[in-house]
A = this chain, B = another copy of it.
Amino acid sequence: MVNAGNAKMIDRGNTETLILDAAMQVFLEKGRHGARMQEIADRAGINKALLHYYFRSKKNLYAEILSRVFRIFYARITEAHRPGLPFREQLRLFIDVYVDMLDSNPRIPLFLAREMSEGGVIVSDFMKRFQQEMDPAVPDLIVSAIEQAASRGEIRRVDPRHFLMSMIGACIFFFVAKPLVLTIFKDSGWMESQAFVAERKQAVFDLLYNGLNPGGISS
């Protein structure tokens, strides 16, 4: 048998992936504490003991998922950076990619937020590692893009860190607080449409880019 040798490996890989996929679903939905090992096993269609066979403990499995989520997150943001673009386009691209990611993975920010509320040590560790490994790290890229644009006079001079926080916050909020927002604005459907997401992107871009306009300001 030519491929008999790796049938086992394929299967091993399969089981492991099955577990990871199921675990990701459940952890994203229920969080670290709310998640149940049994539910993960059920959703993966395997025996619960296998969870401990492949990943020693719940804590371990959780860390694995956290890492996975974080990698997805980081990878998408990395895509959003194309050096050399005028800042205006750079900003538009970033908002576009970022909001799209949030739109298709609305649970991720909430998941990370929960982790934050538990102290955020693990996520912070990942971030530290990523910042060292990836060179240069994404945040630094964005920061320097802002600084350069300011030097060129394309935008006014601002603290890039503050701008970054405001931008990310503006992008994220709607997706994190969706149920509340829908209630506040008595929305019935429109805000859940794809068109609304596009509108949201435009609104954030307009506000932020205008907010960086060299004219104006006299606080």
Q: Point out residues on A near B: beta carbons under 8 Å.
A: 30-34, 107, 110-114, 116-121, 123-124, 127-128, 131, 139, 156, 158-159, 161-163, 165-174, 176-185, 199-200, 202-213, 215-217, 219
- Kindly report which residue of chain B lies nearest to residue A33, judged by CB atoms: B33
Cα–Cα, bound, A76→B116 (Å): 24
Pairwise interchain contact B158-A124, C-beta atoms closer than 8 A: no
> Hey, which chain B residues are within 8 Å of A219, CB to CB?
202, 205-206, 209
Number of identical monomers bound together in the oligomeric complex: 2
CB distance from A172 to the nearest CB of B (A): 6
Pairwise interchain contact A215-B212, C-beta atoms closer than 8 A: no
Pairwise interchain contact B162-A204, C-beta atoms closer than 8 A: yes
Known contacts A172-B173, A183-B127: does B210 contact A163 (CB below 8 Å)?
Answer: no
Q: Point out which of A33, A34, A117 has the most chain B C-beta atoms below 10 A from its C-beta.
A: A117
CB distance from A99 to the nearest CB of B (A): 12
Cα–Cα, bound, A123→B31 (Å): 18
- Kindly report which residue of chain B lies nearest to residue A202, judged by CB atoms: B219
Cβ contacts A to B, 30 pairs, < 8 Å: A31-B31, A31-B117, A107-B117, A112-B180, A113-B114, A114-B114, A116-B176, A120-B178, A131-B183, A139-B185, A158-B207, A162-B204, A162-B207, A165-B170, A165-B173, A166-B170, A166-B173, A166-B207, A166-B208, A167-B170, A168-B177, A169-B169, A169-B170, A169-B172, A169-B174, A207-B208, A209-B211, A209-B219, A210-B210, A213-B216
Q: When A and B form their complex, which 5 residue pairs have the shortest distance between CB atoms, in order from nearest?
A: A169-B173, A120-B179, A211-B211, A162-B203, A110-B117
Known contacts A121-B179, A173-B168: does B211 contact A217 (CB below 8 Å)?
Answer: no
Q: Point out which of A139, A209, A211 has the most chain B C-beta atoms below 10 A from its C-beta.
A: A211
> Hey, which chain B residues are within 8 Å of A208, CB to CB?
166, 207, 211
Pairwise interchain contact B173-A203, C-beta atoms closer than 8 A: no
